[in-house]
Structure formats: structure tokens, C-alpha cells
Amino acid sequence: MDLLSTDRTMMKEIQSMDYEEVKELYLNPVVRKYLGGPREEDCLDALFEGMQTSDVNALYLVVREKGTNHFIGFVSLDPYHDGDNIELSYQFLPVWWGKGYGSEVVEEVVDYAFSELKLHKITAETQMANVYSCRLLEKTGMKLDKTLVRFGETQCLYSLSRSDRR
């Protein structure tokens, strides 16, 4: 059963059968350009296991195209490293970029976070150099709170509060 859907996508909680496709994201240098680069393959089992056994404060969703069931990517809500906020993250395969799927999916997940999960605030962090991700977050109504240097790069920290949701 789908947890969430949009006009063109369906989203389900991540399952073991999704491993190979999710692994493709983590090994892809283009996808990972602003995410610290491709991950080492030998650490992916533990990462994937963590996604499947996460606590109630986290949600990992695989995104597929309706009709074809083609893998688009995944989106997550999980605790931000500051321990105070929930972070929205996403990774999509490049073939799906620039076609509106990202904003469609992120909008739906943000709506779900506020209406069903009753979150009060969502954060997202992306490299300033990742202008397309910055635009996507701004398109969904997120506001730039601050910039900081982490992982040797300037990061943009965005947030959106339920009370500010359009």
C-alpha cells in the first residue's frame, strides 16, 4: 500500500527489495556531488539497515513513477544532527531531474509532515553551490535561515514552520 502519492508518483516506506536501487543513488557521483561524494559500498548495508529499522521520529520513502513503477529516488524525514529539528532530505536519479518530480514529491511530504505527523517545523540543509536544490526548497516555501560551513563547504540551512505554510 502506498503511504503517499502525487499525480505522477507513489511513495512507500523503504523495504529490503529497494536495496539495489537505493544503492545506485549512494554510489552515483552525479547524485552525490553535493552530498559528500559517493559512499563506500561496504558501508551501505548498515546505512540501509538503519533506514529500515529507524524509530518513530524518522520516515524513509522510496519514490516510484505511477504506472511504470520506475524508481525515481527517495525522500526522508529524520532527526537533524542538532537534535532539535526534523530534516527533510531527498535524492533522485538524474534522469528525473528538471521535470518537476522533486518539487511534487517534496510538497507532498511537507504536507504530510505538518498535517499527519503534526510536526511544527522542518529543516533542510544543502550546499549553497547546489542551486537547484536551493530553488526546490524555496519553491516549497522554505526560507533560508542561515549559512554555515560544514564538510568544508558553505551550507544553506532552510526551514519551514507549520504556521508559515501557505
Give all strands of the β-sheet with 9-13 in edge-to-edge order: 4-5, 9-13, 59-65, 71-79, 86-92, 121-127, 153-161, 143-150
Query: What's the pLDDT score for residue 12?
Result: 96
The span from the first CA to the last CA of the chain, in angstroms, equals 29
3-state secondary structure the chain: CCCEECCCEEEEECCHHHHHHHHHHHHCCCCCCCCCCCCCHHHHHHHHHHHHCCCCCCEEEEEEECCCCCEEEEEEEEECCCCCCEEEEEEECHHHCCCCHHHHHHHHHHHHHHHCCCCCEEEEEEECCCHHHHHHHHHCCCEEEEEEEECCEEEEEEEEEHHHCC
**What is the pLDDT, as a whole number, of residue 1?**
47
pLDDT, one tens digit for every residue, the chain (166 residues): 468 999 999 999 999 999 999 999 999 999 999 888 899 988 898 888 888 887 767 899 999 999 999 999 999 999 998 888 999 999 999 999 999 999 999 999 999 999 999 999 999 999 999 999 999 999 999 999 999 998 889 999 999 999 987 5
Neighbour tally for 26: CB within 10 Å: 18
Does this model's pTM top 0.85? My answer is yes
Q: Which CATH architecture has domain 4-119?
A: 3-Layer(aba) Sandwich (3.40)
